[in-house]
Every structure is written in C-alpha cells, then in structure tokens.
Homo-oligomer: A and B are copies of this chain.
Amino acid sequence: MIVSKEAREFTVGILGLSTGKPLIVVNEQDASEMGLSLHSKAYVRSGEKATYASVTTTRTMVPRGRVLASLELAEKLGLKEGSPVAVKPAGLPASYASLLKRMRGERLTYSEMYSIIRDIVDGAYDEAEIAAFLLSQQFYVLDEDELSSLIKAMVETGVKVSFDEPVFDEHSIGGVPGNSKVALIAVPIVASFGLLIPKTSSRAITSPAGTADTMEVLARVDFTAEEIREMAKKTRGLLVWGGKLNLAPADDIFVNVERKLSIDPWHQMVASILSKKLAMSVESLVIDIPVGKKAKIEEHGHADQLAGLFIRQAAKLGMRIKVAVTFGGQPIGMSVGPALEAREALEALINRKGSRSLVDKAILIAGLTMELSGKVPPGQGENYARELFTSGKAYEKFKEILAAQGGNPNIKPEEVPVGRYTYTFKSPLEGAVTYIDNAAVTMVARAAGAPFDKGAGVLFHAKVGYRVNKGDPLFTIFSNSEGRLEEAISLASKYPMITVEGMLLKTLP
C-alpha cells in the first residue's frame, strides 16, 4: 500500500446531508491508499477555494475516483454534481503548537491566538481540541491582553457588517427568565430617538426564550447583512437574529462545546458578546448584568468584577460602554416563553404601561444607551426614554420595525397564539409572595416546550411582594403538547417556583 501526501483528483457527488461541518465520503480503498481514515481530516480544494473536511469511508456508496460531499462542504466550496476536487490528508494545523502552549498555561500573543481561532473557524480542529482550548481557560484564566486578542481574532475571522453612521446597541448577559422581551421595548425607544440600533440577538440555548425567539413570534428575524443595512436605514432600529450572519463564527463553535461541558467562563462570555457587537460595527454599547439568586451572577461583588472586565476590554477595543447592574432575583415582567413574552411587550407598548420590572428596566437601558450618544444630558437618559415610551412614539417605532421585518404592524396582543393547553397553580394559603425561583421557572418553562414550542411558557399572576388569598392563581403553565404540560406540572409540583408565606403554614390532617 502506497501512501502519498500529494493531492488526488476526484469527481464530486453531493450527499444531501447536513452534518454540521464539512464531511467528505471516500471509497475505502482510495482512503487507505491516501492514508485517510475515519478519524482523520482531509484538505479539499476546488479552484481557489479550499477547506478542511472530516473523512468518512464507504465500501458501497461511491466507487474509486469519486467522493461524496456533504451539503456544508458543497456550499463552502461551491461544488456541484460532477465538480472536480483535489483531496489530500490534512497535516497538523498551523496553530497546533500554539494550542499546546495554551494548554500548558503559557500566554499567547495576538498572532498565536489569531492562528488558533483561524484554524477553529476553518474546521481544522475537532471538538476535542476545541474543548482543550476552552478548558485551558478554566485552568489558566486568560489575561486581559489575551482576552482582547481573542476578541479581535474572533471578529477578524468572521463577517463585519458596516454602516454609514455610528451604531448603538444594548445587550443583557441574560440568565433571568422573562428577560428576552426587554429589548422589544428598549430598541424602539432608542430608535425613535433617532439613533441607529440594528440589534442582533441570539436564540435561547439554555433559557426558555432568547430575544430572537421572542421577536420571531411577531416578525421574521433571519435577514442577510445587506437586508439589515437597507432596513436599518429606514427604521433606525431592528431586532434580528445574528445566527446566520457569520458574525464571529468562532463563538457559535465555542458555545456548542461549552454547553456539552457545562462551562461558561466569564472571559468567553465577554468575548462572545463584544466580538459579535464589534462585528456589527457597534461603537456604543450598554451591557445589562442581572444579579440575584439563581441568576447567572448571584453576587454583587461578582457583578462588579464582570463589569470591570467589560469596561477594560471595551476601552482596549475602542468601544464606548456603560454597564447596568440590574435586579435579577426574580423573573422580568409577568411572562416567560416566546409568545407570552411577545404579548407582554406588545401590551406594554400599546398601553404605555406594564409590569415595572419590565417597563422600568427597558426605559433604564434605553436611557443609558441614549446617554452614550452625548445627545441627552448625563443622568437624563431615563427621562427622555420614558417620554418616548409614554408618548407612544416607541410603539409607533415598533410598528415600523414589525412592518420592515415582515410582521403585522397592527397585531393585537390577544392575537398572538399561545399554548392551547394550560394549567393554573393556586396559592395554598393566604400570605405574601416572598420568593420566585429563577431556576425552577426556567426548568418548568422548558419542560413545557419553550423555546421550541413558541406558545409554551409560564404566566405569573403574582410576583414577589404581592399579597394573595388562599386559592388565588399564582401562575399558569402553557404548552401546545398535553404530554409536555403534564411533565411541566409534575416538575412545578416537585420544585416550587413561588414561595408564599403567611401565618398558617399547614393544616393537618
């Protein structure tokens, strides 16, 4: 058997599979002669384009001399049935020595960091190496120079969307249920003030709803960079999904592995947020850090440390920033889950009032964003923002945004479809709500089907501080699946979401 490192020519067939990354199917004999095996990677070239691909072998699906390309590979190289490609075994990625260096806890320069991120984005590494890169940061925390190198490299290895004027944005680190709807109020306020705020957001990964999931209940959120630039010129504000724009694509790769390992290093969080914002040319940014029991950040000291990290990195990267540390000890507003939250935001905009934890927070965030523009006096942002909200200008702007994004601008809250199966938990006693457990709420809403089932979630009838009588409704679970509703009910019975405290704790028997 002869092994050659030189590329061989093959004719391509298209395999109609989404494999998440480029995959090439090679005849077993060809593979064996070329030294390609199941756990190896090939470097595939077609004309000027080239990429790494994972190798899969077959005895039956392709004859010698032909290869099959997965959809991702075909798309990346622009391959069609019958295209010629050159395939060779991929050697060690150029950044491999830098990766090993980081694993030993040594510091990386910008060019070393860039080469790792470049190779990760190009598909040169498998999950194992990516996990090692992330875990090296658990054991040897990135220093601040490395962190800004990481952020810059993440931006440079993706698409940059540019605008003709300064771009503003606001972003919450999340971790509190019900928070996804805040942007549906804050963005139209800022846009109605005249600032450019083409907000990109993500879908929920571990929460019941991301801003993109919630906005999608009312309008489209998947647009190309070109469409976003065009729409933003008209509406000034947008609420779109950043997922398909290829902004800092390393981040999506990291998130997938972090989730598997249940790790969420602060530095990666800062890198994730700032890289996506820089890729959207954001110059002025408000960061919201909710703090409270069972939120992502539970202690004020930690919030301050994280805020410091954001502030120092933003300074290094030439971004204006304000960090708002907000109360995250219970859910935001009265609803959790995409459709329920979309309804609540819409109601607040139409009625020009709503739950204080929602409306006040949105106004606060919008006001801080406006202050960054220098066009409102310091400390006056909140007043300006409240005026835009209560005057109905924010709602008018939201309708423009809905129309631009292909939604129905005149939709009424009650027209938003929510889960058709419901179950209401009632208070077992007279008393006051003293605690709502964020983690239990998230678990129950997800068990009910959120965010995939957009109608699933939890609607609160009482929050902390509310007085309730015995038998008063506390919360209602929504779902479009009876099975899932049952599962959510059983979890909600086992892990109480709401604590009501009164004089009488129990009656017996």
Contact = CB atoms under 8 A, between A and B. Distances in A.
Interface string A138-178: 01000000000000000000000000000000000000000
A28 B25 CA distance: 21
Nearest to A481: B2
A15 B25 CA distance: 12
A132 interface: yes
Interface residues of A, number: 51
A25 B20 contact: no
A252 to B, nearest CB: 10
A414 interface: no
A17 interface: yes
A308 to B, nearest CB: 25
Interface in A87-119: 96, 100, 103
B127 A17 contact: no
Given A16-B61, A481-B2, A261 B129 contact: yes
B5 A60 contact: no
A416 interface: no
A132 B135 contact: yes
Given A127-B126, A128-B128, A139-B139, A35 B452 contact: yes
Contacts of A20: 38-39, 56
A260 B16 contact: no
Interface string A118-139: 0000000011111110010001
Nearest to A57: B18
A5 B19 CA distance: 23
Contacts of A58: 16-18
A68 to B, nearest CB: 9
B3 A126 contact: no
- Copies of this chain, whole number: 2
A257 B128 contact: yes
Contacts of A487: 5
A481 B452 CA distance: 55
A483 interface: yes
Interface string A14-32: 0111111000010010001
Nearest to A125: B260
A484 interface: yes
B61 A17 contact: yes
Interface string A58-75: 111100000000000000
Q: Which 7 A-B pairs have the closest CB atoms?
A: A16-B60, A131-B131, A20-B38, A128-B131, A127-B127, A127-B128, A16-B61
21 contacts: A1-B453, A1-B454, A2-B484, A3-B449, A3-B481, A5-B483, A5-B487, A6-B483, A15-B61, A16-B59, A16-B60, A16-B61, A17-B25, A18-B58, A20-B56, A103-B261, A128-B130, A128-B131, A129-B260, A131-B132, A132-B135
